[in-house]
Amino acid sequence: MKLFNVYNLYDVTPVSAKGCTITDVKGQEYLDMFGGHAVVNIGHANPHYIKAVTEQLQQLPFYNNSVQNPLQVEYAKRLGQISGYEDYSLFLCSTGAEAVENALKIASFQNGRQRVIALKRGYHGRTSGASAVTDNPAIQSLYNRVHKVIFVDVNDTATMSRELETQKVAAVIAEPIQGTGGVHTPNPEFLKTIEDMCHQTGTVFILDEVQTGFGRTGKFFAHQWVGLHPDIICIGKPMANGLPCAGVMIAPQFDAVKGRLGTTFGGGHLEMAAALSVLDVLVDDKLMENAKAMGDFLKEHIPASPRIKEVRGRGLMIGIEFREPIAPIRQKLLYDKHIITGAAGMNVMRLLPPLCITQAECYTFINALKSLL
Ligand SMILES: Cc1ncc(COP(=O)(O)O)c(C=O)c1O
């Protein structure tokens, strides 16, 4: 059997990693400015993480959700404390798309409505409902298009209000910063209006923090920069720093009904031990503070160039929009300068490095970019 060929792969084969450095099969080191797509927030091979995962692996890597799992209970408590959502409940699953599916399902169960509003340029994953609320027809099959979804332009408050006033909308789903769509931040007033109108119209307000959460922007959640308080929050990617772990944080007004939601792997023992250690490192190593400081530093020092249209984002979620396709520059960064970056569309370079990145590593990236421009 061969692999189902759905990915564009670079000719790099990583075999080990430490901090923000990845080493490939030939012994070549790379600076990781992409964090495995916003997953490796505490850095590669963090010793506390390795110890926690190794000990759990030797003790009990997995049992399913038919027995007591104190690690899940402890994790929910710690996550509530660190995120400021102590009165919320946590449903655990394995991927961001699964978190989005469950969030939409919880919303629709709650108010008995079917229609969902999503934002243009939004990305929420590739499973059925998640790709239906993603503004990219290329990833939607006819099978996905049966969901009732309305796409509204970011910051189009008038259309959003008109749709919500019908009182027929189950949920609005949005990213506080649109990552895959190009690192665009909706106006805070627009998001606040959505939140207020959702409350007035019995609509569920879902924020997708799968990419932006866990300190990436300098606060635990990106929406906390603008004082939002969503009904449901989707989390994923960096939760267990590379082990598949995701979840849905659910406000107290939602009742859990046995059997409605479920998953085999969600909240497994190994993932929970990893996720607990991620919270430890985030706090102990002050990674949120570092994300803010290093993000500001990068944005200040990314060279001004007629080839660059805009640098945007918050903390260590940065988009550099070029006036030209970025593939050649990213290839040079990778193969000549040995720096891994990400992309959003044709023209936006995306930086999502581990939150433990140092100023010296930021300089390495800045100098490499300068020399290529
Ligand atoms: C905002 C957002 N939501 C959901 C997802 C889907 O997560 P996963 O790939 O783990 O299913 C992603 C992945 O990039 C994402 O960025």
Task: CATH number for 48-284: choose from 3.40.640.10, 3.40.50.1970, 3.40.50.300, 3.10.20.340.
Answer: 3.40.640.10
pTM: 0.98
Q: Could you give the percent of the chain with pLDDT greater than 70?
A: 100
Beta strands in the chain (DSSP E): 14-18, 21-24, 29-32, 89-93, 115-119, 149-152, 169-174, 204-208, 232-235, 246-250, 308-314, 317-322, 339-340, 342-344, 348-351
Residue 332 buriedness (CB in 10 A; 0-12 / 13-18 / 19+): middle
Atom index in ligand 1 nearest the CA of residue 179 equals 16
Tokens 């080839």 belong to 307
Residue 208 alpha carbon, nearest atom of ligand 1: 1
Between the CA of 373 and the centroid of ligand 1 the distance, in Å, is: 31
Which ligand 1 atom sits closest to the C-alpha of 212?
1
Which sequence spans correspond to the domains of the chain?
14-46+286-372, 48-284
Pairing relationship of beta strands 89-93 and 339-340 according to DSSP bridges: unpaired
According to CATH, the topology of domain 14-46+286-372 is Aspartate Aminotransferase, domain 1 (3.90.1150)
146 confidence band (pLDDT: 50, 70, 90): very high
Atom of ligand 1 nearest to the CA of 175: 1
Which pLDDT does position 169 carry in this prediction? 98
pLDDT digits (tens, 9 = 90+) for 316-342: 999 999 999 999 999 999 999 999 999
Q: What is the DSSP letter of 336?
A: T
User: Which pLDDT does position 151 carry in this prediction?
Assistant: 98
At residue 314 the predicted structure's pLDDT band, cuts being 50, 70 and 90, is very high
State the DSSP code for 176: S
**Mapping DSSP to helix (H, G, I), strand (E, B) and coil, where does residue 121 land?**
coil
Residue nearest to atom 16 of ligand 1 (CA): 211
Whole-number Å distance, alpha carbon 35 to ligand 1 midpoint, is 14
370 Cα–ligand 1 center, Å: 31
CB-neighbour burial class of residue 304 (10 A; exposed 0-12, middle 13-18, buried 19+): exposed
Which pLDDT score, from 0 to 100, does residue 294 have?
Answer: 98
Rounded Cα–Cα distance for residues 233 and 110 (Å): 15
Res. 305 pLDDT band, cuts 50 70 90: very high
Task: State the CB neighbour count (10 A cutoff) for residue 158.
Answer: 9
Q: What is the pLDDT of residues 178-234, one digit of tens each?
A: 999 999 999 999 999 999 999 999 999 999 999 999 999 999 999 999 999 999 999
Can you give the pLDDT at residue 372? 96
Question: Which helix or strand (DSSP H or E) is residue 7 part of?
Answer: none
pLDDT of residue 280: 98
Pocket of ligand 1 (CB under 6 A): 95-97, 100, 123-125, 175, 179-180, 208, 210-211, 236
What are the Cα distances from residue 259, in Å, to 73, 89, 357?
19, 16, 43
pLDDT (tens digit, 9 = 90+) per residue, 63-82? 999 999 999 999 999 999 99
Among 41, 123, 263, the mutation site with the greatest number of ligand 1 atoms within 8 A of its Cβ is 123
Question: Which atom of ligand 1 is the closest one to the Cα of 236?
Answer: 10
